[in-house]
Structure formats: structure tokens, C-alpha cells
């Protein structure tokens, strides 16, 4: 199974969109049409890379837009870039999401006591390759961190790309601690502090900031897949989420290839890119 992307609008502007296609060249939703499993028997999942490692642009699956292309998040009308909080440069992993998952904002998690954040579940790929925006990779789940973001549960699933030459050496969180010393501590520090430059307090975590193990993480991912099934079948309230898809045949939101193509054609044609503000490369320092 292979996927490709198509750019629309101007990169580094608010009209930029990255649409997805299947192996037949038909437009699809990365939220709803890419299967959650690459190999269900082995618990290997697909993941969509939203933000490549070392970059700052806060790209995300546009859950409220038709076909859910990638676009850059806005804050007060301005493009959002994550600050470099010393010693970190941009995102310190390939960051993205697992398709066909949804953190239900109506469901209070029994472990964290908080409801979901209304997005697909997030992943942090710790493999060696720096991916490209829009890559669809196959990942092995290693563990998870439960970020509490403004009162919502926001799971961060630690994964490794199965194409990584070292993937066979990583099967749980202890392998990460042993083979990539300091990476988990850096991950916790990054999520704790990345919003401070925006004037917000340090983030909090469930489980006192402890990473949960592989089995716990896999069950968490599977539970969000169940929430997604309810979402796309319209048995739970979608709110302002857009569930338009081209392959979930029993979904009332399933549309034709022609309707999907019309969505893409209605957006701005690709037109190169604007420059990234020089301020994005600045470092932010503060005492912990």
C-alpha cells in the first residue's frame, strides 16, 4: 500500500494545503482513509508525518476541513511555529498522527481523569531518518506519555519507523532508555516547556510524567480506533469535525472520487513558497 501527496497554495502561507492520494492516484483523507494497521497481527501501525524532525512549522491534519489535508496551524491569525526552547531545535522527532484514531472529547479517560483532545492520536518517531512532510510510515509502538493539555488528555505515543535499520533492536521503553540515553528525558522536557515562549505555563502530565509501557500504549491506540469508528459511522457526535472520506463504505460520510477531486480543485493552485520568518531560528532560554 502506497500513498502520495499533492501541494496546493503557497508553502509557508495560510492557504497552503497538502492533500493525499492512494496508490491509484485518487484523493483520500489521511484522517479517515489510510488504514490504522500496516500489519494488524504484529501491531504495526501506519503514521502520517505532519512535522519532520528539526523543523518548526506547526503542521497538522486539518480535522475540520474536507479531506483533512495538512495545513499550518494559526494563532491569532498568524502562522504558528514552535519555538526553539534551548537546547532543543524545533521538533526532536518526526511528529505526526495515527490515522483512523480519535481522542474523544466526550470520553473521560479512566487513568488520566480527563477527556480527549478531539484529534487523532499523536506519535513521536524516534528513528534515525528525518522524514518528509506527508510521509506515511509504518511504525512499531514502544510506549506512551500522557500530556494534560489545558485539561485534556493528549497522548504522545513513542514509536519507531519499521524501516529504520535499528528497528529490530527496539521493542519497549527500556530499549529506548538503553540505546538512546537521554532521549526520553528530552522528550518529557520538550513537551513540558514548548508552550512557555507563548506565555503559557509549563504543561502537566498524568502518571507524574512517567512513560507507560508498550502494551499500555497499544491498548490506548486501539481504544482511540474504537472512538474513531463511532465517529465515522455517525454513532457519536462529530461536532465540527469533517468526516468526508472515500473508502469507508459503511460510513454516511463516504463520497465519490469526483466529489473528492472537486474539493481539491476548489483550493488555490500550487504557487511555490514564501520565506520563513528569521525569528523562527531564534533560541528561547529560561530557567527551569
| Predicted local confidence at residue 286, as pLDDT | 84
Could you give the CA distance from residue 77 to residue 59 in angstroms, rounded to a whole number?
Answer: 15
What does the mean pLDDT of the chain come to?
Answer: 96
For residue 197, how many other CB atoms are within 10 A of its CB? 15
Separation of first and last alpha carbons in the chain: 45
- 104 pLDDT more than 90: yes
242 and 68 in contact (C-beta within 8 Å)? yes
Closest CA to 130 of 52, 39, 245: 52
| Predicted local confidence at residue 288, as pLDDT | 67
Q: Which stretches within 101-237 are classed as H helix?
A: 173-179, 183-193, 214-232
Could you give the CA distance from residue 33 to residue 16 in angstroms, rounded to a whole number?
Answer: 21
Predicted TM-score (pTM) above 0.75: yes
- 282 pLDDT more than 70: yes
Closest CA to 194 of 122, 88, 70: 88
Could you give the CA distance from residue 102 to residue 8 in angstroms, rounded to a whole number?
Answer: 26
pLDDT tens digits along 18-59? 999 999 999 999 999 999 999 999 999 999 999 999 999 999
What percent of the chain lies above the pLDDT cut of 70?
100
pLDDT tens digits along 136-192? 999 999 999 999 988 899 999 999 999 999 999 999 999 999 999 999 999 999 999
* 4-284 maps to CATH 3.40.50.880: no
| Predicted local confidence at residue 149, as pLDDT | 87
Amino acid at each position: 500500500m502506497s500513498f502520495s501527496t499533492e501541494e496546493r497554495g503557497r508553502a509557508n502561507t495560510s492557504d497552503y494545503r497538502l492533500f493525499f492520494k492512494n496508490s491509484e492516484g485518487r484523493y483520500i483523507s489521511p484522517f479517515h482513509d489510510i488504514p490504522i494497521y500496516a500489519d494488524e497481527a504484529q501491531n504495526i501501525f501506519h503514521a502520517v508525518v505532519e512535522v519532520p524532525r528539526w523543523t518548526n512549522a506547526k503542521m497538522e491534519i486539518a480535522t475540520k476541513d474536507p479531506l483533512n489535508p495538512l495545513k499550518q496551524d494559526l494563532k491569532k491569525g498568524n502562522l504558528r511555529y514552535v519555538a526553539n526552547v534551548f537546547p532543543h531545535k524545533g521538533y526532536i522527532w518526526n511528529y505526526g498522527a495515527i490515522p483512523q484514531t480519535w481522542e474523544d472529547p466526550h470520553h473521560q479517560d479512566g487513568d488520566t481523569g480527563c477527556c480527549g483532545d478531539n484529534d487523532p492520536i499523536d506519535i513521536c518517531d524516534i528513528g534515525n531518518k528525518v522524514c518528509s512532510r506527508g510521509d506515511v510510515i509504518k511504525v512499531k509502538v514502544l510506549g506512551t506519555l500522557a500530556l494534560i493539555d489545558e485539561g485534556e488528555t493528549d497522548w504522545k505515543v513513542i514509536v519507531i519507523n519499521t524501516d529504520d535499520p535499528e528497528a529490530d533492536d527496539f521493542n519497549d521503553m527500556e530499549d529506548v532508555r538503553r540505546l538512546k540515553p537521554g532521549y526520553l528525558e528530552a522528550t518529557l522536557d520538550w513537551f513540558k516547556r514548548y508552550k512557555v515562549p507563548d506565555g503559557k505555563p509549563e504543561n502537566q502530565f498524568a502518571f507524574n510524567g512517567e512513560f507507560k509501557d508498550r502494551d499500555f500504549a497499544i491498548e490506548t491506540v486501539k481504544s482511540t480506533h474504537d472512538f474513531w469508528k463511532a465517529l465515522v459511522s455517525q454513532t457519536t457526535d462529530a461536532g465540527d469535525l469533517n468526516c468526508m472520506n472515500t473508502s469507508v463504505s459503511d460510513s454516511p460520510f463516504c463520497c465519490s472520487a469526483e466529489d473528492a477531486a472537486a474539493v481539491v480543485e476548489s483550493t488555490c493552485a500550487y504557487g511555490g513558497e514564501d520565506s520563513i520568518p528569521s525569528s523562527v531560528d531564534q533560541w528561547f532560554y529560561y530557567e527551569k
